Every structure is written in C-alpha cells, then in structure tokens.
Structure 1
Amino acid sequence: MTGWARSPLKSAAAWALPYWTRGEPGRETPSDLFRVLYLGWAVALTLKVLGSSWDVSWHFKWLRDDLAPPHLINTVGTVIVVALTIVHGYTGYGVDRTALRLIQVGTGVFLVAVPLDLINHRVNGLDITSWSPSHMLLYIGTALMIGGVIRGWFVGAPEGRTRTVMLGALFLFCLENTWFPSQHQEYGVFGIHAWDRGEPYAEPILLQFAADQMGRSVDRNMVVAFSLPAPDYLYPVYATAVCMLVLVLARLMIGRAWSATLIAAGYVAYRVLIWPLLMVADFPISAVPFFLLGAAVCVDLAFYIKVPVLRAVVGAALVTAGSYLSLNLQHTLLDSPPLANTSAIAAGGLLLAVWLGGEWFVQRYRLRGQPTGARVSATATP
C-alpha cells in the first residue's frame, strides 16, 4: 500500500475510532458522524439500485449466474449495509430504538433470503419471475431496512433543505425497491416484441433452458410464458395499491407540496436514463412506467383536502382513476404490460385500505411532515 493511500486511511481511522464505543440506541450523535453514517446508507442504496437495474435486464438475456456482475454490485452494497447495521447496533449512534429494530430485522430478512433464493434456483431452475417467494423476501427485507433508515433520518436530521432532499431520496430508494418486481412485466413486453421481430434478446442457451424447464419447444408461446408469467391484473393493481402507498407516506412525512410527484419524476427519469445505456450495451430494454407521473400528481392533489379520512377516500378514487387512465394512455401511445381495466375497483379498494392505514400510522407515531428535527435521543422513540 502506498503512502498516499495509507494517509487517508489513517486519517479516517483516527477520526472514527473514538466513536467506536458501546451505547444504547438514541444516544446523542455528533453531527459529523450522523452525516457520514447516512452518506454511507446513500452509497449502499445507490449500489443496490444500480445492481438491481442491470439485474433484471441481465436475466432476460443470459442464463443465470450467481457471480454475474449485477449480483457483485449488489454484494458490495450489501457489505456496506451489514457494516452500517453493526455500527448502529453496537454504538447506538444515528438511530433510535425503532429505527434500529427496523434496520436489523430488514437486514436479517435480506441475509436469510439470499441463501434461500440460491437454494430455490438450484431446485427450481430459472425461477425467472420476480414474484416468487424467495424474491419477495429480498424486497421485504430491503423495504424494512429502508424504512428504518427513513425513520432514523426523520427523527435525527436537523431542519433544512438537506433534510428534505435526503428524505425525498430515501423515499425514492423505497419506491424503486417496491416497484422492482413490476419490472418483470415491463421487460417481458419488450422481450416478446424482440421475438416477433426475429431478434430475441435472450441467448439461445437461455431460451432452450427455459423451454426444457417448461417441457415444451422454443416457440412464441414459450417466450410469452417466459416473459409474462404473472396474470394481467397484477401489474396495475400492484402499482396502484402498493406503490402509491409509498408516495402517500412520502407526502405525509415530507410535508411539502408536490413531493410525491417529484419522487415519481425522479424514478421515471432514472429509468429513462438507463434505457439508452442498456440498449447501447446490447442488453434488453423495457417499458418505462411514465403513467406513474399521472398517478403521483393525483396523490399530491388529494393532499389539498385537509381531513385525513376524507382525503383517503377521495384520494383513493382520484389516484386509481389517474393511474388506470394514464396507463391506458401509455399503452396507446407507447407501450406497457398487458392491461386489465376490470381490476380498477379492486385496486381502488385496496388503495383506500392502505391509505387509511398510512394516515393512522403516521399520526400514531408522530411522523407527519416538518417535525422539530431534533437530534436523535432516547426520548425520540414513540
């Protein structure tokens, strides 16, 4: 190791070692340490997003490989996550009890899901669908982990623009994780188009493996079953009832007008950015969920209603209408996964239920927007 490399490492160690003391969650956290801890979370979650974005595209082209580059990027992010979880748990810095519990449980669920997913692939082969139980455990673990990070930042960060921007970024990470399984249908649609053009994205070895697993020949019906294994109603119902809940919670906790729309726009912009990068690198591309913007605008419009229960009732109807109308418009003008408009009533009912639950949860645990922003302390735990 060169002297130039040793010097920054020595400086970092000299700065960090005094903080390595045993403590209970909620202890007073120095501002510089707090910033470094949450910068670490931002880096870890960014690596997770980059890895997962490439991962879906990769699996529509190549036969599965545990050491594929997208998995390695995710692994680096996971290592940082585990390190941060240990630091929070041992020192008690940067989190209250609730935040620490969520981070630890979420990280634990994720780490348990990884070997379960590997075993699942060994037993069941490709398991290409994003909606399998082992895959869902990965998303659930990540969601709990990000929820803990959001909680820690919410109660510990000082008031100001940085606090608001970082809170929005964390909800953007949460939205990406929640939306992730829906990408299967978004990539699947373009996979079918590529087959119909006579230029399939999937390599012959992947197509043959999938066909052998299904017990059929390599033909269009097999490609459709491989690309769109989920029922048509799942995509719009999940997007409307589950993903919109993330934006509702973001709007409640950030407390700023149009915050839900800005988060949705950030996610859509990211998907637009990686689209040409994947195409240039000769990887499969996907339908971009532009319709998310229409639904997000409806979330923000609903917040002009100040009565929580009335806001949830009107908002659920408004967002459901906005989501399905925007999805139909995208399907007509661009492309989208298959539509199932008859599922709108079920999606609206589910959204109403989770919206009411979100309003209660935020009020019960004092998470409504623009809190005092006091530093983390033992009294911050509800």
Structure 2
Amino acid sequence: MTGTAELIRGHWTRGEPGREAPQQLVIALYRWWVVAMALKIAGATWDICWHFKWLRDDLAPPHLINTVGTVIVLGLVVFHTYTGIGADRATLRWMQWGLGIFLVAAPLDVINHRVNGLDITAWSPSHALLYLGTGLMSIGLIRGWAQHGRGDRYQYPIACFLWFTVLDNFLFLNQHQEYGVLGLAAWDRGTPYAEDILLQFAADDLGRPLDRIAVEYFTLPVPDWVYPSWAVLTGLGTLLLARRLVGRKWTATTITAGYLAFRCVAWGLLAAADFPISTVPFFLLAGAVAIDLSFQLAARIRPLVGAVAVTAVSYAALSVQETYLAAPPSDYWSAAYVVVLLAGLWWFVQFLLDTEIGRRLTSRAQMTTGARESTTPSP
C-alpha cells in the first residue's frame, strides 16, 4: 500500500490516455477496481432483499455500501482521466460514459421514487440506467485488463471476476422474480416476509385492497416468459462471450460456479439476519457447461448446434429446479424463439472475431474511437 501510494503521488501529472507507467501501479489500479465493484455488487445484493421487507430508505445500509464502491470508482476514473495511466482512449471512454450515466441515474431514481412512490419492478427506466452505467464500466474494465493484466499472477481470476460483474449486472433484474416467488409463497403460508406497511403501500399503488392479487403484483410483476428468456439470452450470452474472448477451457463454468457460490453465501448471510431469501439459479450451471463443451464442435456448426444444446439443457435444468427446489414461474414455450436469438447472437460473435470482414469492422470501430492497439485474433 505504501509503495502504491508513492507511485500514485509520483505520477499525478497530466498525461494522454495510454501513457506509459510502472506495471505495479497499473495492476494496483485494477485491483482497486475489483474492490470497488465488489462493494457495489454486495450493496446491490443486499438492497434488493431490503426492498422485499421494508419501504425504501435513501440512506439504507445497502445504499451506503454501494455508494462507497461508487466513490472509489469516481476516484479511479478521475485518476485514469487526468494522468492517462492504465487506460487507452477507448477504454477510458467506456469508463467515463458508464460512470456518467450511473451518476445521472442515481438522483433520477430517487426522484422517481419520490414522485411515483414504490417502484415495484426492477425493470423500471431509472433502474435500467443504473444497470447500463454499471455495464459500460465493466466493459471498459474488461478491455483495460485484457491490455494490462498479462503477466500478473491473478490475471485469469481477475478476468473471471470482471466478467462476473457483467453477469451479475444482467441477472440482477431476474432477482425480482427469484425473491418474488418465495415472497408470494410466504404470503400464502400466512408468514409474509414484508412488513404490513410495505404490503399496504403496494396494494395502494395498485388501487385495490390488500389481497393475494396485490401481493402477486408486487412480487411477480412481469410475464412468465421473461425469466427464462432473459437468463439464457443475457446471462448465458455473457458467458458465451467470456468463453470466446478469454479463450480458456471451462471459463464459462468457472464464472458461473463463482456466481452461484456468491449467491449461496449471500443467501446464508441474509437468511441468518432474518431477511427475505430468494431462489438461486442453479440451472445456469448446466447451460455454462454446455457452452464450454460446445467449443469442442467445428466452428461452422457451433452457433446452431451450440444454441440448441445450451437452450435445451438450460430449460430442462430450470424445469428440474422448479420441480425439486424452487424457481420463478416460467413459460417453457419461450425456448422456441430463445434458441433462434441465441444462435443469431452466437453467429454474430463468431463473425466478428473469426472472419476477415468482422475483423475489419472491429478495427475500423476502434480507429474511430481513437484506440491505439490493433485487433488481435482471439484464441
């Protein structure tokens, strides 16, 4: 820490993006990014179950934890921007736009709650801006670490964690249904998780008496096709991209196992503290394994065969989990269009990374954003 602080003081001078700096300093900056994103994820994980128990509070502990992470992110982006260290121009733009959108979305979300009362669904416009800002920051981090993390002994674990942040950011929306299905079951048992004032607030927001319909509106506000479709297309789509760009065997499985381990630890801690609990999407592990195995197929058939295998395995695992454990209600017929969209996504990724036309388009996009490095073939 002392050595890093001295390096920071010694390099606190104005510089252009991509400026040369000691590797020790650059690695330290990205490790602080890991700390910041871990705090933001921890705060967000606690926050969603908080809203299934109590009315919203701007200064609730989960918000404060998330704010600490955001303050660290702000300091890091300021350092990258002023000194030009640790990020080329394109990477810096991803970080700046992500932070900027997040900082605009946070007060908008507060205003939204003040004007509209309880913002019941996680799928609201103000929340979408928060997810978008976090996602753009994660893209910048992945890009920056790919350039500067080579040779570090924690290069692969940190790369997996950064992809974990993208996965968590996408799947955070599905947690509303994962908490909601158990919240509705608790109401049916006569032991609701939420306080009476929150349930009454939700009923008033719907304009009806406090009954099961009002509680279901609060706990499961989106159609049943959303949960499995979003999990496969965005969650497993993220893992597909991670496997392709990181290039190591079992990368998708490793990231998913880490995500599920985190969710299980969070589940235990929240349950011990008497907070509402959620289902955990264990079915994603089957889809991740299918993604890793699909990379053994020939490239020309991989998008179609892989999409069919991943979709079929994921939906089957979700059905097993719903039968023997617990899972949000799902429309399994949605697999018919999900497999088509996943195959298209898979083909598009492969087209950009494997074909000469795709590489030219990618190279041209990098030139227009001011990127200095050339595109390199993925493993």
TM over 0.5: yes
Look up the match of 1:3: none
Q: Which has the higher contact order (CA 8 A, sep 6+)?
A: 1
Give the 3-state SS of the residue equivalent to 2:241 in structure 1: helix
Conserved 8 A contact 2:90-2:371: no
Residue 365 of structure 1: how far off its partner (Å): 6.1
Look up the match of 2:367: none
Return the alpha-carbon distance in structure 1 between the equivalents of residues 170 and 371 of structure 2: 31
* Residue 116 in structure 1 maps to residue 108 in structure 2: yes
Look up the match of 2:67: 75
Conserved 8 A contact 1:88-1:94: yes
* Residue 93 in structure 1 maps to residue 85 in structure 2: yes
* Residue 340 in structure 1 maps to residue 334 in structure 2: no
Residue 285 of structure 1: how far off its partner (Å): 0.1
Residue 25 of structure 1: how far off its partner (Å): 1.2
Look up the match of 1:175: 167
Return the alpha-carbon distance in structure 1 between the equivalents of residues 306 and 37 of structure 2: 30
Return the alpha-carbon distance in structure 2 between the equivalents of residues 150 and 15 of structure 1: 23
Return the alpha-carbon distance in structure 2 between the equivalents of residues 278 and 296 of structure 1: 26
Give the 3-state SS of the residue equivalent to 1:93 in structure 2: coil
Return the alpha-carbon distance in structure 1 between the equivalents of residues 347 and 125 of structure 2: 27
Return the alpha-carbon distance in structure 1 between the equivalents of residues 247 and 153 of structure 2: 13
Conserved 8 A contact 1:242-1:351: no
Describe the superposition over 1:253-303 as per-residue Cα deviations: whole angstroms up to 9, x where unpaired.
Answer: 111111101110110111111112111101000000000101101111111
* Residue 315 in structure 1 maps to residue 306 in structure 2: yes
Within a 5 Å distance, the mapping from 1:157-236 to structure 2 comes to: 157-159=149-151, 161-236=153-228
Describe the superposition over 1:50-74 as per-residue Cα deviations: whole angstroms up to 9, x where unpaired.
Answer: 1011011000000001111100100
Q: What are the ranges of 5 or more consecutive residues in structure 2 without an aligned counterpart? A: 363-369
Return the alpha-carbon distance in structure 1 between the equivalents of residues 267 and 371 of structure 2: 45
Describe the superposition over 1:338-372 as per-residue Cα deviations: whole angstroms up to 9, x where unpaired.
Answer: 02011001111221222223223445569x9xxxx
* Residue 355 in structure 1 maps to residue 355 in structure 2: no
Give the 3-state SS of the residue equivalent to 2:209 in structure 1: coil
Letter of the 1:286 counterpart: S
Identity rate of aligned residues, in percent?
53
Return the alpha-carbon distance in structure 2 between the equivalents of residues 159 and 84 of structure 1: 22
* Residue 290 in structure 1 maps to residue 282 in structure 2: yes
Normalised TM-score (structure 2): 0.92
Conserved 8 A contact 1:155-1:380: no
Give the direction of change, closer, same or farther, for the CA distance of 1:330–1:93 in structure 2 (3 Å limit): same
Residue 380 of structure 1: how far off its partner (Å): 2.0
Q: How many equivalent pairs are there?
A: 364
Return the alpha-carbon distance in structure 2 between the equivalents of residues 302 and 234 of structure 1: 25
Normalised TM-score (structure 1): 0.91
Conserved 8 A contact 2:290-2:309: yes
Conserved 8 A contact 1:26-1:380: no
Conserved 8 A contact 1:98-1:381: no
Look up the match of 2:252: 260
